[in-house]
Every structure is written in structure tokens, then in C-alpha cells.
Amino acid sequence: MTVDQLNQLMLISATVLLVAMGAVRLSSRTGLPSLLIYLGIGVVLGQDGFGLDFEDAELTRTLGYAALVVILAEGGLATKWSEIRPSVPAATSLATVGVAVSVGVVACAAHFLIGLPWESALVMGAVLSPTDAAAVFSVLRRVPLPPRLTGTLEAESGFNDAPVVILVVALSAVEHAPAVWYELVATILFELAVGAVAGVLIGRIGAYGLRRVALPAAGLYPIAVLALCVLAYAGGALAHGSGFLAVYVTALVLGNSKLPHRPAVRGFADGLAWLAQIGLFVLLGLLVTPHVLADDVWPALLIGLVLTLLARPLSVVVSLLPFRVPWRDRALLSWAGLRGAVPIVLATIPMVAEMHGSERMFNIVFVLVVIFTLVQGPTLPWVARKLGLAGSPSPRDVEIESAPLERLLGHLVSVAIPEESRMHGVEVAELRLPPGSAVTLVVRGGSSFVPMPSTVLRRGDELLVVTTEGARDATERRLLAVGRGGKLASWLGTDGPAKPLR
């Protein structure tokens, strides 16, 4: 690549990113899923638009894997263990038993309704079975659902990529696939176990090290956290485990540990996840050829209706049989099975394996994702309201950022009070921080001052709290409790969250 070609590539890339960011604003106002706009950008740049010829399915799959690593890492870092912990058994069942049910139903539909051979039908069933982490995370941030549902959907979308990738790879390489079904099941369970162990080990070791090593610059902490997540993916994959499960578990452990500069870490991961989503969807839009999609619209509609109205509800009902889940929750979980980039990326795997009919399968999956994302995404808030499950937003936790003072054996804790926090109106003395900690500075309206015990805290304030090493955890728990319960935090039983996952 010459310097001029590099300059042209950078110009195009920067323009696409700026247009995509404008599309985010448009999608937030109109309710139109942003992924469709990103796909549209790729289509416009492609063969039927500006004429950019791109047909490299293998490169798309490889870059798609890399993007999914970043998206799963951001999802794990942003997920609160205390919220999803009660939902983990149900989410695990949805990610395993539910996937198996969905694969079977969609495979039968693909074979009997559109005439795919059983090998291709099973691959299509596997490709369409997982919910998409990026789509689910983005929608859940706009829809105030009960924590039990939010936790289930977040955990399911984080867990189900791992078994499905293993399944699609095995079924696409027909000549190398296990001879009997129980060998495939054993392989999936083994890889999931290796990935989970790798994720927990790397997450705990990484959290232990980051809490005790003062890096010379705050900007190094987000890089270190992302490096640990990538290490978990690569290490888990090289150990013949599920790298996708490893990266999600590592991010979940790190995100729920007392890491320094946690808001900066999450902000950095959020920005990278947006970049990964934009790049991935634009690339997938480039790979498709719109003028050949007309013949695959009706097959996509048929399979999509079976998936949405039969396979997903049946998988939810069957996988949640051991659990006491109200019918309204089951109905919403059935409609909230959003598909996005993951099925389209998975559809490139049989193309790379040169499986017969893989190009048609990719086109059907692409059309299906576009149509049903356009239907399900904007209507999910309406469905939640009709089922009586859409509540008002709960008070936001105060944002706490901790930086170690290695030589002084202490910590500087930065606390930001959001608009919805119940810390508004609380006096500094009423915080009742544990011994060894004190509020030393308040920043309000662009100016700072040293507070008195009678100083009343307000929305938008930023506090600087100095605490000893031994009092840091108790201080953070107390600040979170006051942010949730206000002056009566102790009386209301909100002394702080459960012990964080470490």
C-alpha cells in the first residue's frame, strides 16, 4: 500500500465513522436500529452503490471474530454481577437447551419449507439460534425492564455465542464433524468448561494485579483491561476451549472488581465496542450483493416467522420449565430474542468452508436479520408496556473512580453524583463514612471548595474522597448505599451491594 492509498483509506474510514456517529443520533430519535444504518452504509459503498468490490468472506469472518471479542468484553464490563447472578441458571439453560430447541425447529423449517438439504438446514438453524449481544445490550439500555429480565437477557446474549460458534464450525466442516451427536455435545461441553475456567482465572489474576499496581498513567488501565480480555480469548482458544466464553467471563470478573479508574475503563471499552460494531456492520454490508437478494426475500420471511413465532417461544418455554417464570416474562423473553451481527458473521463460516449452498444461506440470513430487526427492535418497548413490564428508570448509582496511592498506602476516590441519585440533598456529615476516609473536595459548577460537615450535596457534584487501604471497600459500599437510599440508607437496608465478584 502506497502513502496515497493509505491517505485515501483513512479519508474514507474517517468519513464513514462520522456518518455512522450521526446515524447513532438519528436512530436514538427515530427508534430505527442503528445496525441497519451501518449495514446500509456498507451496501451503498459496495458493488451496487459506489462500486467497491469486496468478496472476501474469510477476512470478514476473521474481523468479525475480533469485533465480537470487543463487543463481548464491553458487555461483560458493563454487566453488574449482582443483577444477573439470580438469572444465571435460567440464562445458561436458554444458551444451551434453548439453542438446541431453536436449531431443531429452524432446521426442520429450512428443510421442509425452502428445500435445503439437512446438512445446510442444520447449519442455518445453528446460525440463527443465538441472540446478538450488541443488539440486546443497546436495546436494554433504552427500555427500563425489571432486573430479573434484564439480567436474563444480558447473561443469555453473553453466554450463547460460545456454544453456537462451536456448533456452526463443526456442522460446516461436514467431513470433520463428529460421527455421533453425543461426541458433538461432549466437545461443546469441554470447550465451554475450558473457556469458563480460563476466563475466571485470568479475570481474578488481572483484577488482583491491577488493584495493587499503580500504573504511571490513568490511560494505561483501560488498555490493560482490554489486553486481559484479549488474552483470555486467545488463551482459551489456544487451549482448545471457547475463547468467546473466556473473554465474556474475564470481562464480567474485571467489571465487578474494585478496579482503579473504572469509569474510564468502561468508557474506553464502550467507545471501542461502538467502533467494532460500526466496522463490522459496514463490512457485512460490503460483502452482500443487493441485486441478488430478491429471490431470497420470501425464504427469509418464512424462516424468520418460524424463528420469531415458533422457535424462539418454544425454546424459551422448554428451557425455562425448571424455573418459576411468569408467563409475561416468558412472552417478553420470546420477543426480545434479537438477532444482529452474530448470525451474519456466523453465516460466513460455511462460506469459508466452501459448503454447498452457503452463499444462498448467507443471503437469507442477511435479509432475515434486516427485516426482523426492523420489526422487533422498535416494538420491544411497546411490547414491554403492553405486558406491564416497562417500569420507570430506577435511581442511578453514583459513579465511583478509585486511584491507588502506592507509596502512601491509600486511595483517592472520585465520586460523581448523577441526576437521578438520591445522594442529592444529603449533607457531608450524613454520609457517615467509615473511619479512615473523608470528603476533602467538592467540585460544583466549574469551581471547587473544601466542604464543611453541613455542606449539602447536589446533583452534578463531584467529590474527592481520601481513604486508607483498609477502608476503601467499606467507603465505596457506603457511598453506593447513600446514592440508592439517601439519608435513610441504613434504615432501608441498603448498606451496599453484595460482595463483588472477584
pLDDT tens per residue across span 59-72 = 888 898 999 899 88
DSSP-assigned beta bridge partners for residue 465: 413, 439
Residue 98 clears pLDDT 80, i.e. is over it: yes
Q: How confident is residue 31, by pLDDT bands cut at 50, 70 and 90? A: low
Residue of 104 and 501 predicted with greater confidence: 104
Q: Of all helices (H) and strands (E), which one includes residue 339?
A: none
Give the residue-averaged pLDDT of 118-136.
84
Closest CA to 258 of 483, 469, 490, 485: 469
pLDDT for the residue numbered 137? 60
3-class secondary-structure state, position 441: strand
Residue 365 clears pLDDT 70, i.e. is over it: yes
**How far is it, in rounded angstroms, from Cα 131 to Cα 191?**
20
DSSP-assigned beta bridge partners for residue 405: 410
Q: How confident is residue 139, by pLDDT bands cut at 50, 70 and 90? A: low
Going across the sheet that includes 399-405, the strands are 399-405, 410-416, 462-468, 437-444, 447-449
pLDDT for the residue numbered 409? 62
Give the residue-averaged pLDDT of 376-396.
74
Closest CA to 120 of 349, 383, 388: 349
pLDDT for the residue numbered 502? 37
Residue 231 clears pLDDT 90, i.e. is over it: yes
Q: How confident is residue 251, by pLDDT bands cut at 50, 70 and 90? A: very high
**How far is it, in rounded angstroms, from Cα 465 to Cα 137?**
32
Please report, for residues 54, 73, 132, 379, the alpha-carbon distance to residue 30 in angstroms, rounded to integers and kept in the order given. 31, 28, 21, 12
Instruction: Express each pLDDT in 314-348 by its tens digit.
Output: 999 999 999 988 899 999 899 988 887 788 888 99
Give the residue-averaged pLDDT of 244-266.
87
pLDDT for the residue numbered 36? 74
pTM of the model: 0.75
Task: Give whichever of 132-136, 218-222, 453-457, 474-478 has the largest mean pLDDT.
Answer: 453-457
Give the residue-averaged pLDDT of 261-266.
80
3-class secondary-structure state, position 402: strand
pLDDT for the residue numbered 407? 54
pLDDT for the residue numbered 394? 52
Q: How confident is residue 278, by pLDDT bands cut at 50, 70 and 90? A: confident
Please report, for residues 260, 322, 467, 481, the alpha-carbon distance to residue 434 in angstroms, rounded to integers and kept in the order given. 20, 43, 9, 13
Q: How confident is residue 500, by pLDDT bands cut at 50, 70 and 90? A: very low
Phi, psi dihedrals of residue 53, rounded to the nearest 5°: -90, 115
pLDDT for the residue numbered 308? 92
Residue of 181 and 64 predicted with greater confidence: 64
Q: How confident is residue 414, by pLDDT bands cut at 50, 70 and 90? A: confident
**How far is it, in rounded angstroms, from Cα 277 to Cα 280?**
5
Residue of 477 and 194 predicted with greater confidence: 194
* 197 CB-near residues (< 8 Å, 6+ apart): 241
Task: Kindly state the percentage of the chain with pLDDT values over 90.
Answer: 23
Residue 99 clears pLDDT 80, i.e. is over it: yes
Please report, for residues 124, 142, 328, 331, 396, the alpha-carbon distance to residue 386 in angstroms, rounded to integers and kept in the order given. 32, 16, 10, 11, 25
Crossing angle of the two packed helices 327-335 and 358-386, in degrees rounded to 10: 140
Task: Kindly state the percentage of the chain with pLDDT values over 70.
Answer: 87
- Cβ of 29: how many Cβ atoms within 10 Å? 8
pLDDT for the residue numbered 37? 78
Residue 202 clears pLDDT 60, i.e. is over it: yes
Residue 498 clears pLDDT 50, i.e. is over it: no
Residue of 347 and 399 predicted with greater confidence: 347
DSSP-assigned beta bridge partners for residue 467: 411, 437
**How far is it, in rounded angstroms, from Cα 250 to Cα 336?**
26
Calculate the average pLDDT of the chain: 83
pLDDT for the residue numbered 44? 84
pLDDT for the residue numbered 496? 46
**How far is it, in rounded angstroms, from Cα 415 to Cα 356?**
57
